[in-house]
Amino acid sequence: MKTRLQVNIIDDEPDGRDYIALLLKNEFPELTVTFQTGNIDDAYIHLTRNTPDILFLDIQLTDGTAFELLSKFQNISSQIIFITAYENFAIQAIKNSATDYLLKPIKKMDFVISVNKALENIRKNKKPYSGSGDTDMSKVNLPTLQGFKRINISDIIRCEADSNYTVFYLCDKTKIVVSKTLQDFEDQFFNHGFFRVHHKHLINLKHMKEYIKGKGGQVIMTDNSVLDVSVRKKTYFLQRIQYIE
């Protein structure tokens, strides 16, 4: 069973921790906050036993600095997003392998960009899906009531969430309904040029014909479907399509 990505928040201001948690709930509901604190001692004890996927780390804490905390570890594999009220800490944050850093007061758009950057790094670091010993990375098995259908990933135009099911739309105009959530396929297809433009839509960027500007905008696919791009995904989406060949 897939586990949700975990987030820890280490900030000496309770209001700051609450604000980050609220932003995550509103903008990234697929992430789970599993730990919060404002001091080094509690953070150290927790991090010796747990490794969150994303760590929000305020540089100035009640009993020291974030850099003092990090110096206690040989390595932390979490995606670290530093938080600071002082821009002059940026260079030191970068030297400590920061995924990004956010200046207080935190702006929502900056926050969304930082979290998306962390999520991209997490997905890049995952091993590509290979099935049960199958080394053919160009195909995927889609379970059906009768067994499974084996299709070329490049033939998938888009995937659409339908409750706990996912509907696949293929180049030959057929549809396949699979009893797995869209989240499962978002992770699986990330390295194949797919992008989740909306909570309901995962698209193959190589089958995108056009992007229409708007608050979030819309994409037109090769099957002539018109799909909304969510506002919170827009910036990251526009960055991502620059690197699609």
The identity of residue 1, as a single letter, is: M
Whether 3 shows a pLDDT value over 70: the answer reads: no
Whether 133 shows a pLDDT value over 70: the answer reads: no
Whether 221 shows a pLDDT value over 90: the answer reads: yes
Do the Cβ atoms of 65 and 59 come closer than 8 Å?
Answer: yes
Size of the chain in residues: 245
- The radius of gyration of the chain from alpha carbons, rounded to an integer in Å, stands at 20
For residue 10, what pLDDT band results from cuts at 50, 70 and 90?
very high
Whether 71 shows a pLDDT value over 50: the answer reads: yes
Mean pLDDT to the nearest integer, 229-233: 90
- In order of start, what are the domains of the chain with their CATH numbers? 6-125 (3.40.50.2300), 139-241 (2.40.50.1020)
Distance of CA 56 to the CA centre of its chain: 15
- Tell me the three state secondary structure of residue 192: helix
- Please report the sign of the dihedral spanned by the C-alpha atoms of residue 125, residue 129, residue 133, residue 139: negative
Closest by CA to 39, choosing from 68, 82, 15, is 68
pLDDT given for residue 120 in this prediction: 85
Most confidently predicted of 19-33, 76-90, 96-110: 19-33
Q: What percent of the chain has pLDDT over 70?
A: 88
For residue 233, what pLDDT band results from cuts at 50, 70 and 90?
confident
8, exposed or middle or buried, with CB in 10 Å at 0-12, 13-18, 19+?
buried
In angstroms, the CA 43 to CA 41 distance is 5
pTM above 0.85, yes or no: no
Query: What does the pLDDT look like over 152-177, one tens digit per residue?
Result: 999 999 999 998 889 999 999 999 99
**Range in 27-36, 105-114, 133-142, 153-162 with the lowest mean pLDDT:** 133-142
Mean pLDDT to the nearest integer, 57-76: 88
Most confidently predicted of 66-75, 216-225, 232-241: 216-225
Average pLDDT of the chain, as a whole number: 85
